[in-house]
A and B are shown apart, each in its own frame.
Chain A
Amino acid sequence: MAVALRNLLGHLPRTLLTVGAIAVGLASLIFLWSFNEGLHQNMLGNFQRAIIGSVQIHHEGFFQQPELSGYIRNPQKVTEVLEKNGLNDFSRRLESFGLAASDETTEGVMLIGMDPITEPRVTELEKRIGIGRFLQPEDSYSLILGATTANNLRVKLGDQVIIVGYDRYGVMVAESFTLIGIITSGEMGLDRGMALTSLETLQEMVDMPGQVTTFAINIPQKSIDKSVSALKAQLLDESLEIMPWHVMFPVMKEWVTLHNGFLYLFIGVVLFIVVAGELNTLLLSMLERTREFGVFMAIGTTRQEVAALLITEALFIGILGTITGLILGLITVLLTGVTGIDLSILLGSTSRFYVDPLIYPQLELDRLGITISAILIASVAAGLYPAWRASLLQPAEAIRNG
């Protein structure tokens, strides 16, 4: 071990260069992982807080066919179980298809009646209203439309919009609403085809007092699956479907998986560069020291000890590079985690695809562990070939030709 250290210190510039390459590689990986995690958390958080929440509870089949006949039969029990599990951030909704009509035209909409007090615990719709305001508890027959829908209907704040729908018996109903807000999120899913009103108003319109079709719940990302299992076990109601966001919109999860796949590919490339760089250095070092290895063997060092010497050198380089890279990476993540990374040049001032222009990298400890292990293993692996080559040297030939 002392010999390996001496050798590394004896060739300090080369050692530092290799350590630096590993450190920069690891720091880049740590930063990329953190940025990626921050981006995903931001995107998935925004997606869930836009309208759907983390988990929704409906009557069986309602998600596929949202008709008022599919209302939740026992909303009180659902409320009790949610509260019992400490899931207090939930909002009750009544959802149905409808038709929005202005003086000039009509547009199909998803009509959502929501509680103005509890809804902000689940979604951030309030923040996405660019024109006008969000619903207030005292509002009655007030309406919020998406920007595209409002534009298509050619209506502005304060205008009257007729909403035509069906009550739970299938009878057509129509009411006049006052437009109080327009959603300008930049997301097509929100800006087009969305009509929001208060829960009480919609219940009154469709003659379903006290009834709801949906519970939208906000649960921390890591607890979603655990909470869903707990709810399923405690509700014991086959007429209910408890759906986490990724079941409702699997494409989002697939997108994240695909994005992670690209990152794994990138990690592979970085690891290859680290291995190739270190292999090159160690191989050069080995070739330069051929005579020295010959002398080591001549004076009594075994082939295994010579190989172990090179592997130890590789391990030292790997450990030094890992420590340096870890420090560099953590500093970068901590700094950018405070200031955020402004992507407005790429995304514009408004968010696109549920991504905010300012991304805050987040470090995941399990990924940090995997990255560090991968770099260390790659470093040692890079030392194996030179070590094997050195162990095959013939002392006399190595001294003669080295």
Chain B
Amino acid sequence: MTSIIKTHDLHKCYWVGTMPHPALHGINLDIKQGEFAVLAGRSGSGKSTLLNIIGALESADSGSVEVFGQNILEMTQDQRTRFRLHNIGFVFQAYNLIRVFSARENIAYVCQLQGKSKEESLEIANHWLREVEIEHLGYRRPDQLSGGQQQRVAIARALASDPKIILADEPTANLDTQTGRNLIHLMQDLNQRLGTTFLISSHDPDVKEAASRLIKLADGQIVDEWSTIPKTPTSIYSDCPVQNMPFGERVQFMIKRLIRWRRIRKPSKKNRRRS
């Protein structure tokens, strides 16, 4: 499968006054086309920051982010805006629909930004409302919709610009369990039918369960990842960073990784005193 998102040694630090708050610490990530990837981790682990940087909503301090082979960190603000408009769809935790627009207009607005006519945009909006199974609610405003319905509109809006990637930040966090599950099934269905790549940040167990690839983050680092996507015999180790290492180095790498994992899960007394 083709890589569509690649990050290399990504660092990001927020500053509160003179106090640094590291958010990402050397993230190397490779997302393939058609994946239903989930970024998991506790609050503050860097999921949303990573998603924002990949989505060109935020800058990184160092490293590179390549989306469709273009380093988005080198783009100007306006280039990023145009890039997002044509390549990336966003789904936010708080839905973030434009409250003065109806559901249909929220979806059509993106198409109009792409230069499509009003009529064509509304046609596309109707299509996506059908896809997310709320066609009958198209004329309602966001405040007349339930949370689940709003999130369906948000997904339809994200898809309306025909993006290759959907970035969803905690899409089920504000929903009850059943509505959340329905939404996950909807996203999975769209992923399988349309081949759209989903990169979702979530700590919802249902979302993690649905993932074709799970990337765990802790303290701004990837601490674990696995994939359910069957790999061909020729590429079985293609994603493994140790694929070309000699046997001894491989063992050493795995031990180090295990130690780091344990430290993160259960900090040492020394680390606990520090924190």
Question: Which residues of A come within 8 Å of B, CB atoms?
Answer: 3, 6-7, 9-10, 291-292, 294-304, 394-397, 399
Tell me if B176 is interfacial: C-beta within 8 Å of chain A: no
A396 near B57: Cβ-Cβ < 8 Å: yes
Tell me if B172 is interfacial: C-beta within 8 Å of chain A: no
Instruction: Report A141 CB to chain B, min CB distance, Å.
Output: 87
Contacts of A7 in B (CB 8 A): 100
A399 near B81: Cβ-Cβ < 8 Å: no
Could you tell me which residues of chain B, from 41 to 59, have a CB within 8 Å of some CB in chain A? 52, 55, 57-58
Tell me if B90 is interfacial: C-beta within 8 Å of chain A: yes
Question: A300-B113, A303-B77 in contact; A295/B98 too (CB < 8 A)?
Answer: yes
Q: Nearest residue in A to B169 (C-beta to C-beta)?
A: A399
B78 near A302: Cβ-Cβ < 8 Å: yes
Contacts of A300 in B (CB 8 A): 81-82, 84-86, 110, 113-114, 161
CA distance A6 to B105 in the complex (A): 11
Contacts of B100 in A (CB 8 A): 3, 6-7, 9-10
Instruction: Report A346 CB to chain B, min CB distance, Å.
Output: 51
Q: Which of B96, B109, B114, B157 has the most CB of A within 10 A?
A: B96
Tell me if B262 is interfacial: C-beta within 8 Å of chain A: no
Q: Nearest residue in B to A301 (C-beta to C-beta)?
A: B113
Q: Nearest residue in B to A300 (C-beta to C-beta)?
A: B85
Instruction: Report A5 CB to chain B, min CB distance, Å.
Output: 9
Q: Nearest residue in A to B51 (C-beta to C-beta)?
A: A396
CA distance A298 to B82 in the complex (A): 10
Tell me if B92 is interfacial: C-beta within 8 Å of chain A: yes
Could you tell me which residues of chain B, from 75 to 122, have a CB within 8 Å of some CB in chain A? 77-78, 81-82, 84-86, 90, 92, 96-101, 109-110, 113-114
Contact partner of A292 (CB less than 8 A), chosen from B57, B58, B90, B98, is B98
Contact partner of A10 (CB less than 8 A), chosen from B78, B84, B99, is B99
A303 near B157: Cβ-Cβ < 8 Å: no
- Chain A interface helix/strand/loop/mixed: helix
A396 near B110: Cβ-Cβ < 8 Å: no
Question: A300-B85, A394-B58 in contact; A399/B110 too (CB < 8 A)?
Answer: no
Instruction: Report B91 CB to chain A, min CB distance, Å.
Output: 11
Q: Nearest residue in B to A391 (C-beta to C-beta)?
A: B77
CA distance A158 to B36 in the complex (A): 116
Contact partner of B57 (CB less than 8 A), chosen from A6, A10, A304, A395, is A395
CA distance A395 to B52 in the complex (A): 9
B99 near A299: Cβ-Cβ < 8 Å: no
Q: Nearest residue in A to B84 (C-beta to C-beta)?
A: A300
CA distance A399 to B109 in the complex (A): 18
CA distance A8 to B101 in the complex (A): 12
Instruction: Report A298 CB to chain B, min CB distance, Å.
Output: 5
Contacts of A6 in B (CB 8 A): 100-101
Q: Which of A7, A294, A300 has the most CB of B within 10 A?
A: A300
Contacts of A298 in B (CB 8 A): 55, 57, 84, 90, 96
Q: Can you pick out 18 interface pairs between chain A and chain B where the beta carbons lie within 8 Å of each other?
A: A3-B98, A7-B100, A9-B100, A10-B99, A10-B100, A292-B96, A292-B99, A299-B85, A299-B90, A299-B109, A299-B113, A299-B157, A299-B161, A300-B114, A302-B82, A394-B58, A395-B58, A396-B52
B96 near A295: Cβ-Cβ < 8 Å: yes
A396 near B58: Cβ-Cβ < 8 Å: yes
Q: Nearest residue in A to B77 (C-beta to C-beta)?
A: A303
CA distance A11 to B78 in the complex (A): 29
A295 near B58: Cβ-Cβ < 8 Å: no
Instruction: Report B199 CB to chain A, min CB distance, Å.
Output: 15
Q: Which 5 A-B pairs have the closest CB atoms?
A: A300-B85, A10-B100, A396-B57, A6-B100, A396-B58
Contact partner of A295 (CB less than 8 A), chosen from B78, B92, B161, is B92
CA distance A6 to B52 in the complex (A): 29
Instruction: Report B156 CB to chain A, min CB distance, Å.
Output: 12
Instruction: Report A401 CB to chain B, min CB distance, Å.
Output: 12
A399 near B92: Cβ-Cβ < 8 Å: yes
CA distance A254 to B109 in the complex (A): 60
Contacts of B110 in A (CB 8 A): 299-300
Instruction: Report A285 CB to chain B, min CB distance, Å.
Output: 12
Q: Nearest residue in B to A303 (C-beta to C-beta)?
A: B77
Q: Nearest residue in A to B93 (C-beta to C-beta)?
A: A399
Contacts of B58 in A (CB 8 A): 394-397
A303 near B96: Cβ-Cβ < 8 Å: no
Contacts of B85 in A (CB 8 A): 299-300
Could you tell me which residues of chain B, from 138 to 171, have a CB within 8 Å of some CB in chain A? 157, 161
Q: Which of A291, A294, A298, A397 has the most CB of B within 10 A?
A: A298
Instruction: Report A154 CB to chain B, min CB distance, Å.
Output: 83
Contact partner of B81 (CB less than 8 A), chosen from A9, A303, A397, is A303
CA distance A399 to B52 in the complex (A): 11
Question: A298-B55, A299-B84, A300-B85 in contact; A399/B78 too (CB < 8 A)?
Answer: no
CA distance A296 to B161 in the complex (A): 14
Instruction: Report B47 CB to chain A, min CB distance, Å.
Output: 13
Q: Nearest residue in B to A398 (C-beta to C-beta)?
A: B57
Instruction: Report A2 CB to chain B, min CB distance, Å.
Output: 9
CA distance A397 to B97 in the complex (A): 17
Instruction: Report A277 CB to chain B, min CB distance, Å.
Output: 23
Contacts of A297 in B (CB 8 A): 81
CA distance A242 to B168 in the complex (A): 86
CA distance A304 to B57 in the complex (A): 16
Contacts of A301 in B (CB 8 A): 81, 113
Q: Nearest residue in A to B86 (C-beta to C-beta)?
A: A300
Instruction: Report B128 CB to chain A, min CB distance, Å.
Output: 14
